[in-house]
């Protein structure tokens, strides 16, 4: 039996809705995958950074002690002040670098790119449909 015009419209709407849901599900899966990868990357980064910081602090403390001991007899205050100044300057530089890196974001970058590409395709299709009329 042939479908009437109303039924064909409803069937077309159903197919369109299924296509939209399928595309949305794909984009959602991509977003979840990116979030899982980012979580794993951040955990590894935090562990490495933590271990590195502990070792760096031990090394700096040892080096500062060495400098102070070497100059203990003649320039102990200058050695202590110089070591503190160098450490504070390096700390400031690293804080600036950390702030700069914190402003760059990559979270869901590919998902956003894919959604933008989808939007551009839909806009191009709508433009083509208008130009055909």
Quick one: how far is CA 81 from the chain centroid?
39
Structure tokens at 21: 């849901």
* pLDDT the model gives residue 104: 76
pLDDT higher than 70, residue 130: no
* pLDDT the model gives residue 67: 87
pLDDT higher than 60, residue 1: no
Q: Contact, 111 vs 34, CB < 8 A?
A: yes
First-to-final CA distance of the chain: 32
Q: Contact, 83 vs 68, CB < 8 A?
A: yes
CB atoms within 10 A of CB 85: 10
Q: Contact, 87 vs 63, CB < 8 A?
A: no
Q: What percent of the chain has pLDDT over 90?
A: 1
Each domain of the chain, given as residue ranges in start order, spans 1-74, 75-132
Structure tokens at 95: 């804080």
Q: Contact, 61 vs 73, CB < 8 A?
A: no
10-57 pLDDT tens trace:
888 888 888 888 888 888 888 888 888 888 888 888 898 888 888 888
Rounded average pLDDT over 72-94: 87
Rounded average pLDDT over 65-79: 88
* pLDDT the model gives residue 122: 74
Owner of token pair 């839909």: 122
Rounded average pLDDT over 91-113: 80
pTM over 0.75: no
């Amino acid at each position: 039996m042939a479908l009437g015009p109303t039924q064909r419209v409803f069937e077309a709407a159903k197919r369109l809705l299924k296509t939209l849901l399928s595309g949305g599900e794909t984009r959602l899966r991509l977003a979840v995958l990116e979030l899982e990868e980012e979580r794993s990357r951040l955990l590894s980064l935090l562990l490495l950074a933590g271990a590195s910081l502990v070792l760096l602090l031990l090394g700096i403390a040892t080096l500062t002690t060495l400098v102070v001991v070497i100059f203990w007899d003649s320039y102990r205050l200058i050695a202590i002040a110089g070591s503190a100044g160098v450490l504070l300057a390096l700390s400031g530089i690293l804080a600036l670098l950390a702030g700069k890196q914190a402003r760059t974001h990559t979270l869901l970058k590919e998902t956003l790119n894919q959604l933008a590409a989808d939007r551009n395709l839909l806009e191009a299709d709508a433009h083509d449909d208008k130009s055909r009329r």
